[in-house]
Chains A and B, each alone.
Chain A
C-alpha cells in the first residue's frame, strides 16, 4: 500500500545544530515528493519539492529511490525553523492523489 512515514513525532535540537527530518515512502510508481511546513498560527505551505532540487531557507531534500527516502536537512538550525513539517507524496497513477505523512514537530531551542 502507498504510504508516507515520518518516524519522529517530535525532534528537538539546539540552535546551530544540524537537523534531519526523516521521510520514507512506499510507492510502486514514479514518486513526486514534497515537504510542507506549518509555522505556529500560519497556514500549511510548500517548503520544497524534489523535482526543483532547490534549497529553501537553508533546507534541502534529496530523493533516494533506493532507500525510498526523502529526508529534509539543514546544516544549522535556527529558532525560526520551529514548526510542523509534513512530507507528502503524489500518487500519479491514482489521478494525482496527495498523501501526507503524520508530520514531525521540529523544536529549535536557543
Chain B
C-alpha cells in the first residue's frame, strides 16, 4: 500500500501571501488530520477531516483552513502568511480517525513551509 503523500515538500513564501498544501491519504482511509510542527511549540493539532467534514479543530486562527474531497484527499490553506507560520506541516491518515477504534495515525513526510 502506498503511504501518505504530501505536496509540495518544500515551499518558500513571503508575508501576506497565501499557501495551499495537499495531502493524499492511504487508500481506504477516510480520516485526514493536519499538524504543525515547530521547534518551539512541537507538534500541534490543526484539524481533522472525515468523509469531507471537519470533525475537529485545534486552537489556530481562522487563517488556517482546510477541506477534504470525496476521494479523501485533503488540502490545507493558510492565508495572510506570517513569519511565525514557518513550520513543518504534517498530515496523517487513519481508517476511523482518532476517536475511532482504528485510530493509528499514518504520517506523511511533511511540507516544509518557510515564510520570509
In this complex, the interface size class of chain B, counting residues with CB under 8 Å from chain A, is 20 to 34
Considering the complex, give the chain B residue whose CB is closest to the CB of A103.
B42
Number of A residues with CB within 8 Å of any CB on chain B: 19
Interchain CB contact under 8 A, B108 and A97: no
B105 interface hit (Cβ, 8 Å): yes
The answer to the question of A100 belonging to the interface, with a C-beta cut-off of 8 Å to chain B, is yes
B105 near A46 with CB under 8 A, answer: yes
Which of B9-17, B19-27, B65-73, B96-104 has 4 or more CB atoms under 8 Å from chain A? B96-104
B33 touches A98 (CB 8 A): yes
Set of chain B residues within 8 Å of A97, measured between Cβ atoms: 45, 48, 56, 58, 98
- Is the beta-carbon distance between B98 and A102 smaller than 8 angstroms? no
* Segment at the B interface, from A55-63, A67-75, A87-95: A87-95
A97 to B58, CA, bound (A): 8
Give chain B interface residues in 67-96, CB to chain A under 8 Å: 90, 92
- The answer to the question of B43 belonging to the interface, with a C-beta cut-off of 8 Å to chain A, is yes
Q: How far is the CA of A98 from the CA of B43 in the complex (A)?
A: 10
Q: Out of B42, B44, B48, B107, name the residue touching A96 (CB < 8 Å).
A: B48
Instruction: Take A90-B98, A94-B56 as given contacts and tell me if A43 and B3 are in contact as well, using a CB distance cutoff of 8 Å.
Output: yes
**B-side interface residues toward A, CB under 8 Å?**
3-4, 33, 35, 42-45, 48, 55-56, 58, 90, 92, 97-100, 103-109
Pairs of residues from A and B, 10 with the lowest C-beta to C-beta distance, nearest first:
A96-B99, A96-B98, A100-B43, A95-B56, A44-B107, A102-B42, A43-B107, A98-B98, A46-B104, A90-B98
A44-B90, A100-B42 known; 9 new pairs, CB 8 Å cut-off, are: A44-B92, A44-B107, A46-B105, A94-B56, A96-B97, A96-B98, A96-B99, A97-B48, A98-B98
Chain A contact residues, CB within 8 Å of chain B:
36, 43-46, 49, 86, 90, 92, 94-103
